Structure 1
Amino acid sequence: MCRSCWRLVSRRTQKPLRWTFFPQVWGAVGPHAWEKGEGDTPKSAEPRMGEGNVKGPRDAARSRLFQRLGMMLRTAAREGGPDPALNAQLANVVEQCRAKNMPKASIEARSAAAASRLLYEARGPGGSALLLEVLTDNPRRSQQDVRLILTRNGGTMAEGSRHGFEQKGVVRVGPRDLQGHPVSLEAALEAAVEAGAQDVCPDEDEEEEEEPALKFICETSALRTVRERLEASGLRPLSAAIEYLPRDRVTLPEGTREQAERLLQALGDCPDIVRLYHNIQ
């Protein structure tokens, strides 16, 4: 038997020396399992490179991916609304999330957070009526920001402005059809009648574009049907949403109109305001 497997347990006593046997452990962990300065921890018990340290980086990468996808969901919902059936961009992002195995609950939570909308009523210069659709995760901050913009530009928060508007379904269609051909006003009117829309007009919000989109207006209950029929007729829908349209418009004098334009510009620059409605001619 190997002498190193024995330990001397008594050196001072007058009794005969006793030896205590410890089982040999070299076969389990090797003769160099305990080294100087390593305490009582065998080297074989330490985690090996590439085993215990893999899960952390993988989880971090997955978390970063889901964070990016979540931001894409919020942005898509902010620009086109929270319903994937009416928002092609959001539907595309949702498909990407599913392909990356993002949990359904996480997808719904990101979209729901982005879909938290508020409607502020306000008055502008010359008694003009304003409705501000706000998308925010901090209503108090957003209300303070909007109130400050209004105060600095001759406006004020005021209840009752909503009565000057009515809700309508609005389908925006690209100026060119699915084959790339320009859509004439006559063709748009014919498509509107066939789709069940009440009216069609150029999109005033895109005056800077060389070819502005067309707005097809319908009842809110017919929004999805009108969109599907317009697409089936060969047109290219860009978005479909329920919006507030003014019942009547007001004409402002020159000086007041300039102030109103500055107010509309300042409100348009506010990142929390996703839609701005007014009745200014």
Structure 2
Amino acid sequence: MAGHSKWANIKHKKKKEDKRRGKLFSKLSKKIAVAAREGGGDPEMNSDLRMAIQKAKDNNMPKDNIQRAVDRGTGNLDGVDYERIIYEGYAPAGIALYLDLMSDNRNRTASEIRHILSKRGGNLGEEGCVAWMFDRKGQLIIDRTEEDVDEDEVMMSALEAGAEDITIEEDMIEIISLPSDLEEVRETMEEDGYKFDSGDVVMLPQNIIKLDDKSDAKKVLKVIDALEDHDDVQDVYANFDIPDEIMEEIETEEE
């Protein structure tokens, strides 16, 4: 089973608890607009746009919002021009961070991300400093709290569809594929009757740092929360794991 599954589960729970839907839609709109600008407004001919639209649909973004984002990207509607930026750095305890952003002002964004990290014990690094620690993969998530599925059957369906790996947790099932196979795996499994909470191309850590110290775990989570709260940050990828008992203690303290 994949060693990164705990972090996927943490992100899954955070997503379900996230009430900042307006901010989420804004980030999804940027992703759609950039994909449309770079590859055209026809999702049938633009796989990046197709996946960005699917991600928006997974998060219940209204069709009108999706179309407006496409139109902004293709120039049919006036709007701000965003560019995709990748930043790399470190959180406390030596945790590697790989950040995917969409920004209309590279200098402003770099300054703000650097401030977020330095204020919380992290730092922004040079290009390539941590990218080698991550692999680009397709990821599908089945929410087990919403979907009652048989573990053996979903595993068989995923493998027959072309998945590389399946991780089964109490709350979710994570299915990993090559990026180029993501859409085919999803479509094949949907034909088998499975529904997905999310599906995207992600950066998965090759090796995991286990945070056994609660203080370090809290510091890292605070950095992640601050980064994810930034308007320009699309995704945060990191190479850590927090033991269940420590995560439960942290969650209890925050209630």
TM-score category (smaller protein): 0.5 to 0.7
The aligned residue for residue 182 of structure 2 is: 223
Q: Counterpart amino acid of 1:226?
A: V
Q: 1:270 aligns with which of 206, 230, 237?
A: 230
Q: Is the 8 A contact 2:133 2:206 kept in 1?
A: yes
The aligned counterpart of 2:18 is none
State the 1:229 CA deviation: 0.7
Residue type at the aligned position of 1:200: I
Could you tell me which of 99, 102, 119 is aligned with 1:135?
Answer: 102
Q: Contact 1:97 / 1:107 at 8 angstroms: preserved in 2?
A: no
Matched, 1:108 2:74: yes
1:175 to 127, 137, 144: 144
Cα distance in 2 for partners of 1:131, 1:183 equals 33
1:11-40 Cα offsets, whole Å, 9 max, x none, are: xxxxxxxxxxxxxxxxxxxxxxxxxxxxxx
* Cross-structure match for 2:116: 149
User: 1:246 touches 1:279 (CA, 8 Å); kept in 2?
Assistant: yes
* TM-fit CA distance, 1:278: 0.5
Question: Are the aligned partners of 1:197 and 1:216 in contact in 2 as well (CA < 8 Å)?
Answer: yes
Is residue 158 of structure 2 the alignment partner of residue 192 of structure 1?
yes
1:85 to 43, 50, 59: 50
Question: What's the RMSD between the two structures over aligned residues?
Answer: 3.6
TM-score by length of structure 1 reads 0.59
Corresponding residue for 2:86? 119
Q: Given that residues 72 and 93 in structure 1 are in contact (C-alpha distance below 8 angstroms), is that contact kept between their aligned partners in structure 2?
A: no
Q: Matched residues in 2 for 1:201 and 1:280: separation?
A: 17
Q: For 1:218 and 1:144, how far apart are their aligned partners in 2?
A: 35
- TM-superposed CA distance for 1:251, in Å, is 2.2
Pick from 200, 221, 229: which aligns with 1:261?
Answer: 221
**CA 1:98–1:223 in 2, change beyond 3 Å: closer, same or farther?**
closer
Tell me the percent identity: 24
User: How far is 1:187 from its partner?
Assistant: 2.7
8 A contact 2:134–2:203 mirrored in 1: yes
Check the 8 A contact 1:129/1:161 in 2, yes or no: yes
What is the distance in 2 between the residues matched to 1:120 and 1:229? 34
**Offset of residue 127 of structure 1:** 1.5
Residue 189 of structure 1: CA displacement? Answer: 1.2
Contiguous gaps of at least 5 residues in structure 2: 1-22, 36-47, 242-255
1:234 aligns with 2:199: no
Runs of 5+ consecutive residues of structure 1 not aligned to the other structure: 1-70, 204-210
The AA in structure 2 aligned to 1:274 is Q
Matches within 5 A, 1:42-61: none
Structure 1 residue 138 displacement after superposition: 1.8
Task: Please report the TM-score for the alignment, with normalisation by the length of structure 2.
Answer: 0.64
CA separation of 1:265 and 1:73: change in aligned 2, threshold 3 A: closer
Q: Which amino acid letter does the alignment assign opposite residue 275 of structure 1?
A: D
SS at match of 2:210: coil
Deviation at 1:260, TM superposition (A): 1.8
Identify the structure with the greater helix proportion. Answer: 2
Per the alignment, do residues 97 and 116 of structure 1 end up closer, same or farther by CA in structure 2, a change over 3 Å counting? same
Q: Distance in 1 between matches of 2:55 and 2:138?
A: 19
> In the TM superposition, what is the alpha-carbon distance from 1:85 to its structure 2 partner?
2.5
Matched, 1:249 2:208: yes
SS, match of residue 191 in structure 1: helix
Aligned-partner Cα distance in 2 for 1:111–1:199: 43
